[in-house]
Every structure is written in structure tokens, then in C-alpha cells.
Amino acid sequence: MAPNKQEITDYFRTLQDNICTALSAADGNDFVEDSWERPGGGGGRARVLNGHHIQKGGVNWSAVHGNLPPAAAQSLKIGTEETNFYATGVSIVLHPRNPHVPIIHMNVRYFELDGGRFWFGGGIDLTPHYVVPEQAAYFHQQLKDTCDRFDGAYYDRFKTWADDYFYIPHRQETRGVGGIFFDRLEPVTEGKSKRELFDFTAAVGETFVPTYLHLLGLNQDKPVTEDELRWQELRRGRYVEFNLVWDRGTKFGLTTNGRTESILMSLPPLAGWTYDYQPTPESREAFTLANLKKGVDWLAG
């Protein structure tokens, strides 16, 4: 039987619970919850962690509905005849305290219109402050393993999509080492049932915790210098630039009168910008910048 929006909504709510429980246990601190209601319909739970290893982390769940503003309809490239929407999902951004631990983002979501159309979207991407090829390869292998369970073409397709999406044109660099990104997965375009598309989206959500906790455990206790902390702020600055200038999810949330605090939860607690920064040749910073480009095959060996 095809999942209805209530089953999907309940699943995402439980996913938020499970992820918060695992992250709290790993960090040793609890999330603070802020429940909210959307004036136009629906609401959500914003959970924020200001912890020991995770300096600022947000795990948000929402289920919102109502009239679709014209600007949002235009961004979704849909006609004006479908004016009501329902959207639910989980969105996560973790900014670690230690610059050797990467930033991570995940989103899994479901969207439907009153005319009967619906689709799934989401993905996971990694933004290391310092690129470590072995860790990037581990991350991508976990995503490929998940994708391959459902469709052998998914990983390459969605990795390319992530490289294109998480790109900062004005810097001519990717936000990080990519991951997977997918949107508008519908039965008519994918040749799969609603249940299959939901199961895939759920599997992506469940890939998050074991993958990130492995990377956190590898790096959270490494010694840190003042220069590394300054570099971390510069990399966080790039993260801010992408999210405020290019991210479609941020724009959609703001144009649909979403909750500002939840939408901007993705921003780091501290960020920095240095005029015309140039890394020292052959440094780890230079290596990182050289690898922030599209099309890197992290699984090549």
C-alpha cells in the first residue's frame, strides 16, 4: 500500500527523535526543543544543541500546509491552478567545535499539491574544514551503499546533482566534498512506486547517524591550533555565503513565510572573512581549496 502523508509525517517525526537521541549520547549534552506553529498552517519542532563536540547543531522536523505563495509556485515551476501544498521533512546541520570534524548537512522531505502531485527530495553532503581523502571516500561509500540498495544508477546520478547544487559560483568552488542530492522524485519520472521512493528517502535518513558518528569519533579529540580555528571560521564563511545566496531551500522557506529561526538554523555560531585570503603553497589549506571542485571521484582509490 502506498504511504499517505500521515505515515510519512510520522516517520520523519520519529527520525528526528532517533537522530537527536544518538547525537546527544555522542556529545554528552541534550538538545533544547522549541515547538512552533506556522500562521498559514502546520508547524514543527526545532531542536538545537550547543554541546561539547557539536558547537551548534540543529535537527528540525516540520509539517506545514496552506496556500502556496506565487513566488514559491514560480520557484517550483508549477502552474497557478494548484494553490495548496503540504510539506514535511527533517533538516539537519551540524557545526562541530573541532575544525578537524567536518560540517554535515542532511535533508529528507516530502511535498504534495492539492491536485494530487507529490515528490520526495533530500540528500546528505559533507563540508570538511580540511579535506582528508580517506574520510571523504568513507563518506561517499556509505552513500553509494545506500543508493545501490535501491537503484544502481542512483549514486552517480545524485552525486553529480550534489556537485552541481552545492556549488558557489561566485567563488568557483564547491561547498565541500559533496555527497548526494535529489529532488522531485515522482513515480512518473522514476518508474518506481510511491512506497519505493519513500523507502529510499527513509534509507538516506537512516544513513546519517552511523556515518557522521564515525567521522566525529575519528576527529573530535584531535589537538587544535589558533591558525586552524581561524581557517575554520573562513570555511564557515563560505558555508554562509552558499546558504544565504544560492540555497533554494532557504529561499523557499522564507518565501512561504516559514519560521525564520528554523530556516537560518543552518548558519554557524561564528564565521569569518579575510580580504583576498591566499593559502600558503602546499599547505593543508591549499590542498583543501584545490579539491573543492566538481567531479572528484572520491571512490577511485
Residues 235/101, Cβ–Cβ less than 8 Å: no
Task: Please list the helix, strand and coil fractions of the chain in percent, rounded to the nearest 5, in that order.
Answer: 45, 25, 30
Strand partners, 121: 109
> Rounded CA gap, 239 and 267, in Å?
8
Examine the residue annotation and report whether 53 is marked as an active-site residue of this protein. no
Among 47, 63, 82, residue whose Cα is nearest residue 6: 63
Q: Are 147 and 160 in contact (CB under 8 A)?
A: no
Q: Which three cell numbers stand for residue 207?
A: 544513513
Query: Pick the catalytic residue: 53, 95, 100, 105?
Result: 105
Angle in degrees, CA 97, 223, 211, rounded to 5: 55
Here the cell at position 51 is 554541546
Assigned C-alpha cell, 275: 580580504
Q: Report, as residue numbers or ranges, the catalytic residues.
A: 105
